[in-house]
């Protein structure tokens, strides 16, 4: 038994020795394998770290680019807003410019029309000026003629004043001699011989006085009657001149003396038919 135990123990000892010899390489292999796995793990971890670092760098770059894009986008938005505002202002300015251009065109058309009107007005004024110059020449000529006529009229007035003075002197002289010698005349159908003395008939004082024409002045259209203040004549009184049944005209007293008066022959009278000796009847 003991021998068997000894052999058994011995076999067990050899078995253990062989197992130990086999375990050493196995453990070495396992160690190498573990070291390889560890190295591989370390490598993987290094790679993962590198990848992570790279990803982080990429992420930072992406974040930076995104921020840059955001900034650029913001700038673009601001630029877009400014561009839109500028475009709106430009459109507004364009509309205003178009309106101003339309007004300018209208003003130009009005100015052109005004210029044409002014040119026509200048032409008309030039024509009027020429006519005025012609009329001025005519007026100058007419003025010269009028001045000549004025000189003639002045001379005639001077002659008239001289004749008037002479006539007034004659009337005054006749007034101091109330009787006048007349040629043969017919008054109211009665004959008066040459050399007869014609005296003023003295009717009632005033409008009933009748007389005769003693002087006829055809140049200045007046007569002298043989009636005056003593017969009641007044300035402005009117008489009719008659010859028989024919009425030759009407006269109006302008000057009155004692026994004589001067009367103007009114326009409707037969001036050329009136002569000395015609009867004068109060109206």
Residues with Cβ < 8 Å from 188, sequence gap 6 or more? Answer: 242, 244, 279
pLDDT digits (tens, 9 = 90+) for 14-29: 656 666 667 777 777 8
What is d(CA 146, CA 152) in angstroms, rounded to the nearest whole number?
A: 9
Domain end marker among 84, 118, 137: 137
What is d(CA 133, CA 121) in angstroms, rounded to the nearest whole number?
A: 18
* CA distances to 13, 24, 269 from 27, in Å: 20, 5, 185
C-beta neighbour count of 148 within 10 angstroms: 10
Indicate whether 169 belongs to any domain.
no
Domain range for 250: 176-282
- Identify which of 282, 281, 166, 151 has the alpha carbon closest to the alpha carbon of residue 220: 166
Indicate whether 212 belongs to any domain.
yes
What is d(CA 78, CA 97) in angstroms, rounded to the nearest whole number?
A: 27
What is d(CA 5, CA 12) in angstroms, rounded to the nearest whole number?
A: 10
Do 98 and 181 fall into the same domain? Answer: no
- Tokens for 61, please give them: 């770059």
Residue written as tokens 């038919």?
273
Do 37 and 130 fall into the same domain? Answer: yes
Do 126 and 214 fall into the same domain? Answer: no
Sign, CA torsion 165/170/175/176: positive
Residue 237: what pLDDT? 96
Do 123 and 193 fall into the same domain? Answer: no
| DSSP code, position 272 | G
Indicate whether 87 belongs to any domain.
yes
Domain end marker among 82, 107, 137: 137
Domain end marker among 82, 116, 137: 137
- pTM of the prediction? 0.35
The pLDDT-based confidence of 251 (bands split at 50, 70, 90) is: very high
pLDDT digits (tens, 9 = 90+) for 199-250: 333 333 344 458 999 999 988 899 999 999 999 999 999 999 999 999 999 9
Indicate whether 15 belongs to any domain.
no
What is d(CA 58, CA 44) in angstroms, rounded to the nearest whole number?
A: 20
CATH number at residue 229: 2.40.10.340
Residue written as tokens 């007569």?
223
What is d(CA 196, CA 183) in angstroms, rounded to the nearest whole number?
A: 8
Do 200 and 129 fall into the same domain? Answer: no
Indicate whether 256 belongs to any domain.
yes
Residue 2: what pLDDT? 52
What is d(CA 188, CA 244) in angstroms, rounded to the nearest whole number?
A: 5
Indicate whether 56 belongs to any domain.
yes
DSSP string, 47-114: HHHHHHHHHHHHHHHHHHHHHHHHHHHHHHHHHHHHHHHHHHHHHHHHHHHHHHHHHHHHHHHHHHHH
Residue 203: what pLDDT? 37
What mean pLDDT do residues 130-149 have?
84
Q: ∠ at Cα 125 (123, 130), nearest 5°?
A: 95
Do 122 and 208 fall into the same domain? Answer: no
Do 181 and 126 fall into the same domain? Answer: no
Residue 233: what pLDDT? 94
Domain count, the chain: 2
CA-derived radius of gyration, the chain = 77
Indicate whether 88 belongs to any domain.
yes
- Would the pLDDT of 256 be above 90? yes
- Residue 209 — φ and ψ, nearest 5°? -70, 135
Do 132 and 182 fall into the same domain? Answer: no
For the chain, the average pLDDT equals: 78
């Amino acid at each position: 038994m003991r021998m068997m135990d000894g052999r058994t123990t011995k076999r067990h000892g050899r078995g253990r020795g062989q197992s130990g010899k086999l375990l050493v390489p196995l453990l070495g292999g396992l160690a190498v394998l573990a070291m390889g796995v560890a190295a591989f793990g370390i490598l993987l971890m290094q790679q993962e770290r590198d990848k992570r670092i790279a990803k982080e760098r990429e992420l930072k770059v992406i974040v930076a680019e995104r921020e840059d894009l955001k900034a650029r986008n913001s700038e673009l938005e601001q630029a877009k807003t400014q561009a839109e505002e500028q475009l709106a202002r430009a459109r507004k300015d364009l509309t205003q410019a178009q309106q101003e251009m339309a007004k300018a065109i209208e003003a130009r058309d009005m100015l052109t029309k005004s210029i044409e009107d002014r040119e026509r007005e200048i032409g008309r004024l030039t024509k009027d000026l020429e006519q005025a110059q012609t009329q001025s020449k005519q007026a100058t000529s007419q003025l010269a003629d009028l001045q000549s006529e004025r000189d003639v009229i002045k001379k005639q007035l001077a002659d008239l004043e001289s004749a008037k003075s002479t006539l007034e002197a004659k009337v005054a002289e006749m007034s101091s001699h109330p009787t006048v010698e007349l040629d043969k005349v017919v008054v109211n159908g009665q004959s008066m011989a040459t050399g007869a003395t014609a005296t003023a008939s003295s009717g009632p004082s005033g409008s009933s006085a009748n007389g005769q024409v003693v002087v006829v002045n055809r140049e200045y259209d007046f007569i002298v009657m043989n009636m005056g203040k003593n017969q009641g004549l007044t300035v402005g009184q009117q008489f009719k001149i008659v010859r028989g049944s024919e009425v030759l005209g009407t006269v109006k007293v302008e000057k009155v003396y004692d026994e004589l008066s001067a009367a103007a022959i009114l326009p409707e009278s037969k001036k050329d038919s009136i002569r000395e000796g015609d009867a004068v009847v109060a109206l």
